Amino acid sequence: MTVIAAEIASRKRIALVAHDNKKQDLLEWALYNRDLLAHHELLATGTTGKLLEEAMKTPIVKLQSGPLGGDLQIGAKIAEGLIDFVIFFWDPLEPQPHDPDVKALIRIAVVWNIPVACNRATADFVISSPLMSSAYQRALPDYQGYIDRVRRL
């Protein structure tokens, strides 16, 4: 498979998501990193976005709540090339009614080579990377062969 490059600008488009039991953890993390996050465009699922916007005093594009389609909206934006980084503090110990949506979101992020931080430690490593404040050439698989095969079916 051929690989092509897509530039991620120095101002990243970051999606923020957290399951109910992880919202406080994401909120604390975002407040600690408020100055870094303020340099980027922030999007979030509904409830998480409302909590973050109120606490951080920073504008956040709020999508639907996760169980109402917010995870899928983020996935669609990834497929459209409109998300550069996903921070998703998910709760691996609590069953979620929208687990298929969560799996789809993580899958599409992997398909399009989007960094995903699923816990605080990973989010710390990624946000402190020098790549967060500079442009980055993200390698994208060239899916044209796959598209051509599907069209022939």
Residues marked active site are found at 71
- Sign of CA pseudo-dihedral 117, 63, 109, 93: positive
**Residue in the structure block whose two tokens are 């503090």:** 89
CB of 120 closer than 8 Å to CB of 87: no
Q: How many residues does the chain have?
A: 153
Task: Give yes or no for a contact between 75 and 108, defined as CB atoms under 8 angstroms apart.
Answer: yes
β-partners of residue 116 are 86
DSSP assignment letter at 112 = T
CA atoms lying within 13 Å on the CB side of residue 12: 25
| Cα end-to-end distance, the chain, whole Å | 20
